[in-house]
């Protein structure tokens, strides 16, 4: 092809674009038209507290990721036991946003969506655009198989907060995730090491580990936000729950508070003293976690999906376990055992779903003890239903999560800003962590950089802001 | 035969034009409309905001940072790729280096790989601990040159640029090679008799006679440099610390991670005009007299 031809094409293309613009709009607009479907509704009674129409079809869309889709099929069977006349349409996709977005725009979404994975629809936007049904009636309905309790009363502490926006719960996060510091209990037993409970012990142990020829730490270098978790956890344990609340509410100087400063300068020590596996900043999550599984590093920060994610490369007898971050000192407001536990794996019922009541009833089925036990057994993950993991044998990692949660009791903590403002964690805090943990900036600059990100979000009127008070 | 020509032409052209209009032109045109709204891409509700999105972009430092990287690519990618491709193909075609056939295959091999494969492949090669690159450097005793590559903001951009050149140079080796075949052998023979050096032959004979092809290459590579999205998305997602961010990655983040389709469309519109301007500019600047071999 010659240059002349290219030029002709470009010019033609532009001219056509200009003249066809109005026609294109008429032809089919991406922005949707205004028509919804009528709602399917039935009579409420004791057996059917949400008033589901018995023969209304139910459409479920599952994210086909780490948990697969088999667990959902058994939940669907359980739903069908109660509503035999209902026809259930099940589908499993990996790109939720790309497949579901057009249906939201059309006003024709399915009844339940498992809005999860890297391709999830930004939850904050779904809420701010009024696309989700309020789940209050579900949470206040009686539990399916725990008589005398409402659904809300059967859940673990902190189960609904991550899905609650300005006091209303729109997202049901079904799986319970524990975030902490992971190590191989086999390695520690072999070497006679004790997991450190205080910061001084931690640094002393790092020295011993390094002397033994192992790097004390590695981290998910290309996704450095994983390291923001231990830093914020340390700060919350030092300064109390208010630290997290201020960050979530985008309070001025929330990131540069005294607690955050103490935590950041403590964590700076593992960078300064060379306790991080060389090359870590250039590894992605799988690569760094694999180095850790291969015994090249002793500690890594992660959530409880780690065991499942690393299944294929974990050596037999590795025995990974989770532990809380070490306490800064005796002045800490929360005890050493306090750990970050949070509900993840979001399920939503779209506000425009035709069978909205059926969708909520499906969630009620998932939240029954039977449904939750089935999930835990099938995918080796905890759920937000209290006691659902009892009597089920899990891997060493999950067993340690159950134990850590028990020890943590009501001192557990969490933060929600990544749900409110995905960009703040995924882009801005992430970038600051990368600079900090590769040693290019110090703790003060690190916090200033995080604060700058938070201030940018606070000043940007295109983000809807949320506040929480508990 | 003459009458009935137009209905026949139309029968062939119209369906194709219709599809093109519906699936290519119409989305382009809609992007212009959407860029004037605050549409979040989840409902049919939106507000008209006029040029607000563009005003925000003007003062957005992340956008400026991404644009700067595209500008660097725009200059470096075509220059490096074309110079290398010219050198390789003149070695293969004019001077007939030993094993030319094998080299041709080696240069062209990346062309048959999809961008996703190239990205994943190089991510592993750049792995600072078990990657091929640092492994080779260390084996050669060049430990000092081993880097964290994609983890170092000072290096990551250049690491990605290198992959872009690697992935594209083969195509231009073949393109220039084909054009070189059409240059009459007598010209080279005459040059050789006059004692012209290889460099002089390339500079004084090959390049001027290839100018048309180089021009096309330039435009293709410029368009590629304005994109660069796929490799960046797979290898670094714009990090570390935004050091590899490009406009395409910005657009993707704003659309799919922040759900601001109005703003993302505005970025798309900016990119559209940039591409158009640069294409026209590249064609004007490189315009020369055409040489016909008779």
pLDDT at A38 over 90: no
Q: Which of residues 20-59 of A touch B (CB under 8 A)?
A: 20-21, 23-25, 27-34
Q: What is the value of ipTM here, to two decimals?
A: 0.81
Task: Give the pLDDT band (50/70/90) at residue A25.
Answer: very low
Q: Which helix (H) or strand (E) holds A59?
A: strand A58-63
CB A25 to CB B153 under 8 A?
A: no
**Residue B82 belongs to domain spanning:** 60-258+266-285
Q: How many CB atoms lie within 10 A of CB A232?
A: 27
Whether A10 and chain B come into contact, CB under 8 Å, resolves to: yes
B150, A282 contact by CB (below 8 A): yes
Whether B33 and chain A come into contact, CB under 8 Å, resolves to: yes
Q: Best residue in A11, A20, A132, A282 to probe B by mutation, most B CBs within 10 Å? A: A282
pLDDT of residue B81: 95
Do the strands A172-184 and A382-383 form a parallel or antiparallel pair, or are they unpaired? antiparallel
pLDDT at B1 over 60: no
B273, B28 contact by CB (below 8 A): no
Alpha-carbon gap, residue A331 to A314, rounded angstroms: 38
Do the strands A172-184 and A297-303 form a parallel or antiparallel pair, or are they unpaired? antiparallel
B110, B167 contact by CB (below 8 A): yes
Radius of gyration of chain A (CA): 25
CB B34 to CB A31 under 8 A?
A: yes
Is position B22 within any domain? no
For residue A21, which residues of chain B lie inside 8 Å, CB to CB?
A: 29, 32-33
pLDDT at A19 over 50: no
Q: What angle do CA A373, A378, A384 make, to 5 degrees?
A: 45
Give the model confidence (pLDDT) of A340-352 as tens digits: 998 888 999 999 9
CATH of the domain at B169: 1.10.3720.10
Percent of chain A whose pLDDT exceeds 90: 67
CB B149 to CB A440 under 8 A?
A: no
Is position B279 within any domain? yes
pLDDT of residue A7: 44
CB B151 to CB A279 under 8 A?
A: yes
Give the model confidence (pLDDT) of A214-273 as tens digits: 999 999 999 999 999 999 999 999 999 999 999 999 999 999 999 999 999 999 999 999
Q: Please give the domain boundaries of chain A with CATH numbers for all domains.
A: 58-170+343-394 (3.40.190.10), 178-339+414-459 (3.40.190.10)
CB B34 to CB A32 under 8 A?
A: no
Residue with tokens 């920060």: A301
Give the model confidence (pLDDT) of A411-435 as tens digits: 999 999 998 898 899 889 999 999 9
Give the residue-averaged pLDDT of A305-333: 92
pLDDT of residue B267: 95
pLDDT of residue B215: 85
A281, A438 contact by CB (below 8 A): yes
> What integer best gives the mean pLDDT of chain B?
88
Number of separate domains in chain B: 1
Is position B16 within any domain? no
A371 to chain B, minimum CA–CA distance in Å?
31
Which residue of B44, B258, B263 is in closest CB contact with A34? B44
Buried-exposed string B29-39: b where 16+ CB fall within 10 A, e elsewhere:
bbbbbbbbbbb
Q: What angle do CA A323, A328, A332 make, to 5 degrees?
A: 95
Is position B226 within any domain? yes
pLDDT of residue B288: 63
pLDDT of residue A34: 56
The CA-atom distances, in angstroms, between A313 and each of A48, A185, A308, A400 are 47, 17, 10, 20
Is position B53 within any domain? no
Q: Which of A129-133, B194-198, B231-235 comes out lowest in average pLDDT?
A: B194-198
Helices (H) and strands (E) in chain A, counts: 19, 11
Is position B19 within any domain? no
Q: Which of residues 216-275 of B touch A (CB under 8 A)?
A: 216, 219, 236-242, 253, 256-260, 263
Alpha-carbon gap, residue A229 to A324, rounded angstroms: 11
Which among A383, A349, A358, A351 has a CA at the least distance from the CA of A113?
A349
B156, B163 contact by CB (below 8 A): no
Give the model confidence (pLDDT) of B210-233 as tens digits: 888 888 898 889 888 888 899 999
Is position B52 within any domain? no
For residue A430, which residues of chain B lie inside 8 Å, CB to CB?
A: 239
Is position B9 within any domain? no
Contacts 24+ apart (CB under 8 A), A400-404: A400/A320, A400/A321, A400/A322, A400/A323, A401/A178, A401/A304, A401/A322, A404/A178, A404/A180, A404/A322, A404/A323, A404/A324, A404/A337, A404/A339
Alpha-carbon gap, residue B152 to B109, rounded angstroms: 28
């Amino acid at each position: 092809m010659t240059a002349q031809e290219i030029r002709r094409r470009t010019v033609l293309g532009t001219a056509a674009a200009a003249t066809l613009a109005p026609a294109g709009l008429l032809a089919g607009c991406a922005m949707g038209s205004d028509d919804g479907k009528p709602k399917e509704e039935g009579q409420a009674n004791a057996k059917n507290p949400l008033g589901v129409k018995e023969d209304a079809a139910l459409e479920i869309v599952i994210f086909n990721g780490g948990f697969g889709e088999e667990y959902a099929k058994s939940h669907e069977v359980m739903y069908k036991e109660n509503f035999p006349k209902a026809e259930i349409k099940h589908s499993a996709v990996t790109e939720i946003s790309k497949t579901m977005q057009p249906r939201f725009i059309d006003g024709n979404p399915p009844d339940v969506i498992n809005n999860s994975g890297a391709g999830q629809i930004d939850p904050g936007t779904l809420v701010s655009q009024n696309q989700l049904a309020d789940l209050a009636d579900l949470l206040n309905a009686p539990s399916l198989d725990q008589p005398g309790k409402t659904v809300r009363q059967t859940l673990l502490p902190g189960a609904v907060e991550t899905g609650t926006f300005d006091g209303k719960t729109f997202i049901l996060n079904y799986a319970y995730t524990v975030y902490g510091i992971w190590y191989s209990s086999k390695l520690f037993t072999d070497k006679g090491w004790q997991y450190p409970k205080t910061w001084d012990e931690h640094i002393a142990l790092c020295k011993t580990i390094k002397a033994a020829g192992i790097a004390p730490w590695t981290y998910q270098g290309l996704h450095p936000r994983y390291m923001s978790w231990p830093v914020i956890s340390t700060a919350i344990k030092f300064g109390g729950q208010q630290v997290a609340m201020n960050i979530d509410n985008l309070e001025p100087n929330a990131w540069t508070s005294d607690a955050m400063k103490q935590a950041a300068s403590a964590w700076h020590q593992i960078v300064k003293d060379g306790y991080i596996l060389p090359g870590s900043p250039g590894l992605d999550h799988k690569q760094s976690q694999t180095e850790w599984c291969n015994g090249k590093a002793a500690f890594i920060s992660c959530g409880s999906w780690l065991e499942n994610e690393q299944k294929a490369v974990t050596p037999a007898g590795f025995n990974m376990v989770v532990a809380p971050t070490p306490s800064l000192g005796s002045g800490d407001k929360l005890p050493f055992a306090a750990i970050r536990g949070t509900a993840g794996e979001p399920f939503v019922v779209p506000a425009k779903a035709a069978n909205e009541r059926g969708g909520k009833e499906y969630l009620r089925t998932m939240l029954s003890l039977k449904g939750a036990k089935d999930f835990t057994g099938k995918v080796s993950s905890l759920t937000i239903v209290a006691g659902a993991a009892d009597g089920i044998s899990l891997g060493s990692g999950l067993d340690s999560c159950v134990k850590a949660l028990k020890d943590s009791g009501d001192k557990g903590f969490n933060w929600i800003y990544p749900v409110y403002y995905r960009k703040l964690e995924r882009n801005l805090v992430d970038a600051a962590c990368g600079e900090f943990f590769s040693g290019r900036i110090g703790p003060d600059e690190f916090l200033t950089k995080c604060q700058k990100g938070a201030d940018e979000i606070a000043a940007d009127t295109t983000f809807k802001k949320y506040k929480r008070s508990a | 035969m003459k009458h009935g020509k137009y209905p026949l032409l139309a029968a062939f052209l119209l369906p194709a034009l219709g599809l093109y209009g519906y699936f290519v032109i119409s989305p382009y045109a809609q992007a212009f409309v959407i860029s004037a709204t605050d549409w979040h891409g989840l409902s049919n509700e939106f507000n008209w905001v006029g040029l607000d999105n563009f005003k925000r972009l003007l003062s957005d430092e992340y956008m400026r940072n991404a644009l700067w990287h595209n500008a660097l690519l725009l200059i470096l990618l075509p220059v490096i790729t074309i110079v290398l491709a010219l050198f390789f193909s003149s070695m293969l075609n004019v001077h007939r280096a030993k094993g030319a056939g094998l080299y041709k295959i080696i240069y062209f091999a990346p062309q048959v790989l999809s961008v996703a494969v190239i990205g994943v492949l190089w991510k592993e090669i750049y792995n600072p601990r078990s990657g091929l690159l640092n492994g080779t450097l260390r084996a050669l005793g060049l430990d000092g040159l081993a880097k964290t590559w994609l983890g170092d903001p000072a290096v990551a951009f250049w690491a990605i640029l290198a992959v872009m050149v690697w992935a594209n140079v083969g195509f231009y080796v073949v393109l220039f090679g084909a054009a070189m075949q059409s240059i009459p052998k007598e010209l080279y023979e005459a040059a050789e008799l006059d004692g012209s050096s290889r460099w002089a032959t390339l500079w004084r004979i090959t390049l001027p006679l290839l100018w048309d092809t180089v021009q096309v290459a330039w435009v293709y590579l410029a368009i590629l440099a304005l994109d660069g999205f796929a490799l960046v998305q797979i290898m670094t997602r714009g990090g570390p610390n935004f050091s590899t961010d490009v406009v395409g990655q910005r657009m993707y983040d704003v659309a799919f991670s922040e759900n601001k389709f109005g703003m993302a469309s505005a970025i798309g519109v900016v990119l559209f005009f940039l591409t158009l301007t640069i294409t026209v500019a590249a064609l004007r600047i490189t315009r020369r007299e055409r040489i016909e071999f008779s």
